[in-house]
Structure 1
Amino acid sequence: MEQGDVGPLGVAASLVWSWLWIAGMTAYAAWTVRRRFPDAPSILLAAAAGFAATAGLSLAVLFGLGVFPVEGRTLVPLAGMAVGNSMTASVVAARALTDRFAEQRGQVEAALALGLPPRQAVEPLVRVVLRDALTPQVEKTRTVGLVFLPGAMVGLILAGVDPLDAVLVQVVVMYLVLGAVATSASVIAVVLSRRLFTADWRTLDLTPTD
């Protein structure tokens, strides 16, 4: 075995440590969202579910389609990009949903009085919140290469990589980020919307207290 080669046990250990790092990364991201927005009901559970779904789905697509090899050097950076870039959208979605719910609580209760279940009563708010949370990332993705020049693409080009290869890598990264933002915001909004009601379908009072 040449110097620098890694045997099967070393590769397996590298993958195990990478997955453990991703688990810790996801937990810390959820705790960070919880600290930023502690008043939202079950925000830690919603954030953890959102980031876990984001990391799992993103890596499954990238590795399932063979875009990148399953290695320790690819697992952690890709998961970090997916989870890290989705944190802002998750906070925006959580805060916007609770704020709108507090403002439009009467409308939600009117929908409940008409016989709609909580899921349908809060669905219009969830749609608006997701649109607002995803719009910035969608607009950024649309202008890649025309207005917005991401660092990965510029760095690869400056390093001497073929421009077409640099663009292809950046396209993968941008759609990875867009998919991650959509997944995390959707999951956190859906989970959080279920926690805005009691078991007997009463709405929670989220009005800030002095």
Structure 2
Amino acid sequence: MEWDWLRDFLKGMIKPFAALVVVFMAIGLSYVQKLGLEGEMIYSVFRAFLQLSIIGFVLQFIFTQKNVAWIILAYLFMVTIAGYTAGQRAKHVPRGKYIAGVSILAGTCITMFLLVILNVFPFTPRYIIPVAGMMVGNAMTVTGVTMKKLRDDIKIQMALVETALALGATPRQATLQQVKRSLVIALSPVLDNAKTVGLISLPGAMTGLIMGGASPLEAIQLQIVVMNMLIGASTVSSIFSTYLSWPSFFTKAYQLETKVFSSE
């Protein structure tokens, strides 16, 4: 009886294992075309299988707990990993991982708080953890791109920024255009996705509900909420990252910190 969960798990893995056929097809095509991606494909699939299996058991455990601490712990774990990943993308930004982590935490926490207060989602593990995961994932991507683009744009236009500083502009005023450009570029994919949702592809949350037996009308209601929260969390996180990045780009004398822009 105590091993029933394992038997059920293995039984449920029949279809995922059957779906490996399409992966073998991709591996075969990579070999024929001499792309050299066979090893990476096998590693990626194995890693995804391992990670998803582990997280499945972890979520199964958390969903049975009534302690709020487990929700917070899972959320902070996701934010930590996301902050590290986004910081890696913007590796030339000083304290990039810390800035990314704090920005993602702020954006997703504020958005989640509003959704719970407005009773859009109940504060239970079954709702909060998946929702937080979607927001953190999108905020991670947007924050990493924002920080990297901001640093790169300032580096390209150092002469223009230094001229503005020499004329008495504050760091914020001198880099206003670079900040706007980095935010627009980072947020464009999220906004484009919202514009085309349902027309080009059916998003994961909506598809999952429909395949689980929910009506299409119920599925679109949830998907609208998901799109709204992703835009909110991504926007707040990306703006936070620009404010937190600014001090790293300038000295206390309001001059560009050249060592930040010297590396490629």
TM-score (norm 2): 0.71
User: Where do 5+ consecutive residues of structure 1 fail to align?
Assistant: 1-9
Most deviating of 64-73 and 148-157: 148-157
Aligned residue in 1 for 2:167: 114
Structure of greater relative contact order (alpha carbons < 8 Å, 6+ residues apart): 1
How far did residue 99 of structure 1 move? 0.6
* Contact kept? 2:93, 2:151, Cα under 8 Å: yes
Q: Could you tell me which of 88, 109, 127 is aligned with 1:56?
A: 109
**1:186 lines up with 2:239 in the alignment:** yes
Q: Could you report, residue by residue, the CA deviation over 1:75-102 in whole angstroms, capped at 9, with x for unpaired residues? A: 2211111111221111111111111110
* Contact kept? 2:88, 2:96, Cα under 8 Å: no
**1:95 lines up with 2:95 in the alignment:** no
Matched length: 201
**Partner amino acid, structure 1, of 2:218:** D
**Partner amino acid, structure 2, of 1:82:** M
Q: Could you tell me which of 117, 139, 144 is aligned with 1:86?
A: 139
Aligned residue in 1 for 2:14: none
**Partner amino acid, structure 1, of 2:72:** W
* Contact kept? 2:89, 2:145, Cα under 8 Å: no
Q: Could you report, residue by residue, the CA deviation over 1:24-43 in whole angstroms, capped at 9, with x for unpaired residues? A: 22122212222333221221
Most deviating of 74-83 and 153-162: 153-162
The separation in 2 between residues aligned to 1:201 and 1:169, in whole angstroms, is 47
Aligned residue in 1 for 2:99: 46
**1:170 lines up with 2:230 in the alignment:** no
The separation in 1 between residues aligned to 2:85 and 2:129, in whole angstroms, is 19
Q: 1:11 to 1:209 in 2, by over 3 A?
A: closer
* Contact kept? 1:119, 1:194, Cα under 8 Å: no
Structure with the higher fraction of residues in helix conformation = 2
The separation in 2 between residues aligned to 1:105 and 1:113, in whole angstroms, is 12
Q: 1:209 to 1:174 in 2, by over 3 A?
A: closer
* Contact kept? 2:151, 2:261, Cα under 8 Å: no
* Contact kept? 2:194, 2:227, Cα under 8 Å: yes
How far did residue 168 of structure 1 move? 0.3
In our comparison, the structure showing a higher alpha carbon Rg is 2
* Contact kept? 2:142, 2:234, Cα under 8 Å: yes
**Partner amino acid, structure 1, of 2:227:** M
Aligned residue in 2 for 1:125: 178
Aligned residue in 2 for 1:142: 195
* Contact kept? 1:130, 1:186, Cα under 8 Å: yes
The separation in 1 between residues aligned to 2:93 and 2:172, in whole angstroms, is 18
SS at match of 1:148: coil
How far did residue 160 of structure 1 move? 2.1
RMSD: 1.9
Aligned residue in 2 for 1:196: 249
What pairs with 1:143-162 in structure 2 (closer than 5 Å)? 143-162=196-215
The separation in 1 between residues aligned to 2:77 and 2:208, in whole angstroms, is 29
